[in-house]
Chains A and B, each alone.
Chain A
Amino acid sequence: MIYLQLFFEFFKAGLFAIGGGLATLPFLSDIADKTGWFTHGDLADMIAISESTPGPIGVNMATYAGFNTGGIPGAVIATLGLICPSIIIIIAIAKILDKFRKSPLVNHTFYGLRPASVALISAAGIMVVKMALLDMDAFHASGNILDMIKYKEVILAVALFFLIKKFNKLHPAVFLAGSLAVGIILRLGGA
């Protein structure tokens, strides 16, 4: 029974969260209130964990809540519940797109959608830059604009930029692994 409930609650979150990223958050918080499967503290921890593990936060939270409630089957069922609406809706849309691929209306829509999508990704990218390369706390504390820059990180970013340009045949995972090592050696997290 608990499995059915897990599936249903995360199915709802997957159905109503639109826009990705933290859009699942209000629904997860609602699940926390209603079921007690996890606390709001767990949810905050999960945001931190999701930032430092691969995978979307919604999927991570579903897995975490499912695991705590019903072990590995619980984790699988909660995650399936979350992704089920996406699979159904996207396949329906993909079918329609297939049918109307040649339609000027679809092409005209995408002519406008593509730059919008790049703009939204760029804006999200700025957030990542802020988190990775800038130290807003130090800037607010001292008021000195030079304190805002994390120098070691910026040097690493510039080095990566040129390395990726030069060795663009390599898989991005190589550069991720390299940065992970540099982060630990130079204690970039300050820990």
Chain B
Amino acid sequence: MPKLLDLFLTFARIGGLTFGGGYAMLPMLQKEVIETKKWATEEEVMNYYAVGQCTPGIIAVNTATFIGYKTCGIPGGIFATLGVVFPSLVIISIIAAFITNFAELAVVKNAFAGIRVCVCVLILNAVVKLFKKSVIDIPTAVLFIVIFIGSILTDISPIIFVIAAGAAGIIIQTLTQKGKSEGGKQA
């Protein structure tokens, strides 16, 4: 299959199975992009998510553009992004045309109460995997705890957390490397 078509179809599948916003996309990305297609590694997807959170636009769209670009250049970025929004376009057009009180339908309510439970478990599994790759030492553990608690208890924008964490990463790494090289000189 041509790579661009493959990108479009894979991201259409991911977009069609992502219920509840950008974060719920993670389990699908892990399955399709990392495990099956091997278009990106776990760390790269994590990097894209982080950048996607502090740049304009929708996280799911930003992540699709990133992975598409990495796989196939600019056309890849465009095809992956069109793929990820395609299911929404079709589904919402149908709903807008035919169903006026879609979210009130009993069968819809019940079905999605069930789906939400599954999304919880899928996100939990995805987070556990990512946690092992990203929280690798004491400074990263501290960053994780502070931002986790901070974003639950306060209204601080995720952008602030992301920028602060990037700065903290630079400072921590620079200091530890300085410490190491000085330690090396003394020895």
Contact = CB atoms under 8 A, between A and B. Distances in A.
Nearest to B28: A172
Contacts of A19: 53-54, 59, 157-159
B174 to A, nearest CB: 7
A111 B140 contact: yes
A17 B58 contact: yes
A1 interface: no
Contact of B56 (A15, A91, A107, A133): A15
A123 B174 CA distance: 29
Contacts of B81: 83, 86-87
Contacts of A51: 19-20, 103, 112
A87 B78 contact: yes
A114 B172 CA distance: 14
B168 interface: yes
B105 to A, nearest CB: 8
Interface string A86-102: 11011101100100000
A172 B159 contact: no
B165 A113 contact: yes
Interface residues of B, number: 103
Which one of B28, B69, B159 has the greatest number of beta carbons of chain A within 10 Å?
Answer: B69
Contact of B127 (A112, A118, A164): A118
A138 interface: no
Interface of B: 15-24, 26-28, 31, 43, 46-47, 49-62, 65-66, 69-70, 74, 77-78, 81, 85, 87-89, 91-93, 95-97, 102-103, 106-127, 130-131, 133-135, 140-141, 143-148, 151-152, 157-159, 161-162, 164-170, 172-174
Nearest to A67: B96
B57 A17 contact: yes
A29 B56 CA distance: 18
B50 A89 contact: no
Given A59-B61, A87-B81, A182 B95 contact: no
Given A89-B56, A171-B31, A179-B114, A76 B26 contact: no
Number of chain A interface residues as a range: 35 or more
A21 B109 contact: no
A172 B17 contact: yes
Across chains A and B, which 3 residue pairs bring their CB atoms closest together, nearest first?
A183-B114, A112-B169, A55-B88
Interface string A24-57: 1000000000000000000001001111111111
B22 A56 contact: yes
B56 A18 contact: yes
A105 B171 CA distance: 10
Contacts of B151: 119-120, 123
